[in-house]
């Protein structure tokens, strides 16, 4: 099956099941927005997909490549990292690297991939970062820093882009700019599947796609 496919995902913390049997399919080029209250497990879901935490049960595959089953990773984690871009809620650029160096660092880490990324200049221009390349993170506004983080996630030409509340720390003007830039950047990668989580209904409306609720560890239409 093309795109992201998840079946029966369970994540435990102590004795509680934070995720309790999540099924999710996002086709290539598809968008899913997961809404849920604070503490519902939205970040846990994204981290489990990116293998930043280990699920207790479930099967996950991207474009038919099964990379997690039960409690085991089935591919080299580095192999799957290049296929998944992650934009975190808290902006986490490397402080002593410029905007461009932050983006290039990821490109280097996943070097050797056979897939070709969009030209860096196209990516910077789609994300409205031209002229900001040499700035350090503390010289960027929150919105600019988040756009750098999106460029960093996309530079590996991932198959799946995970967005964790990327606009919740921004004012309304910057929220709109980030979403407009995201839309342009995405046109460079028409095949990418996108999974965004948010507690803001305004975000889910403006990004489009299918909206699911995360409640009691499961996804609902
Ligand atoms: N590192 C952790 N250790 C233990 N429990 C955690 C940890 N991170 C999150 N949790 C718990 O997991 C649940 C889901 O958290 P999270 O995925 O961050 O929710 P959301 O992103 O929807 O706000 C919460 O009950 C939270 O307290
Ligand atoms: Mg969260």
pLDDT digits (tens, 9 = 90+) for 25-65: 999 999 999 999 999 999 999 999 999 999 999 999 999 99
Least trusted range by pLDDT, from 71-80, 172-181, 200-209: 200-209
- Pick the residue whose CA is nearest to atom 2 on ligand 1: 13
The pTM for the full model equals: 0.94
Q: Domain residues of the chain, as ranges?
A: 27-52+77-220
pLDDT digits (tens, 9 = 90+) for 83-93: 999 999 888 89
- CA dist., res. 219 & res. 41, Å (int): 11
Ligand 1 atom having least distance to the Cα of 199: 22
Query: Closest-lying ligand to the alpha carbon of 39?
Result: 1
Residues around the ion ligand 2 (C-beta < 5 A): 42-43
Distances (CA, A) of 175 to 16, 23, 62, 187: 34, 29, 29, 19
How many A from CA of 44 to the centre of ligand 2? Answer: 7
pLDDT digits (tens, 9 = 90+) for 166-203: 998 889 899 999 999 999 999 999 999 999 999 887 77
CATH fold, domain 27-52+77-220, is Rossmann fold (3.40.50)
């Amino acid at each position: 099956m093309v795109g992201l496919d998840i079946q029966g995902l369970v994540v435990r913390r102590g004795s509680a099941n934070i995720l309790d049997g999540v099924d999710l399919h996002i086709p290539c080029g598809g968008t899913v927005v997961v809404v849920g209250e604070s503490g519902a497990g939205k970040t846990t879901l994204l981290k489990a997909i990116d293998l930043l935490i280990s699920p207790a049960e479930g099967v996950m595959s991207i474009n038919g490549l099964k990379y997690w089953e039960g409690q085991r990773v089935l591919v080299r984690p580095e192999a799957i990292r290049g296929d998944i871009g992650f934009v975190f809620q808290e902006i986490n650029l490397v402080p002593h690297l410029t905007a461009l160096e932050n983006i290039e660092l990821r490109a280097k880490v996943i070097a050797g991939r056979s897939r070709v990324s969009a030209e860096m200049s196209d990516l910077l221009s789609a994300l409205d970062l031209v002229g900001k390349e040499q700035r350090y993170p503390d010289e960027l506004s929150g919105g600019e820093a988040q756009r750098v983080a999106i460029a960093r996630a996309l530079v590996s030409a991932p198959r799946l882009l995970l967005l964790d509340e990327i606009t919740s720390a921004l004012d309304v003007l910057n929220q709109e700019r980030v979403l407009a830039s995201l839309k342009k950047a995405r046109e460079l990668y028409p095949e990418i599947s996108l999974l965004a989580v948010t507690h803001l209904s305004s975000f889910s409306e403006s990004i489009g796609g299918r909206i699911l609720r995360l409640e009691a560890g499961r996804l609902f239409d």
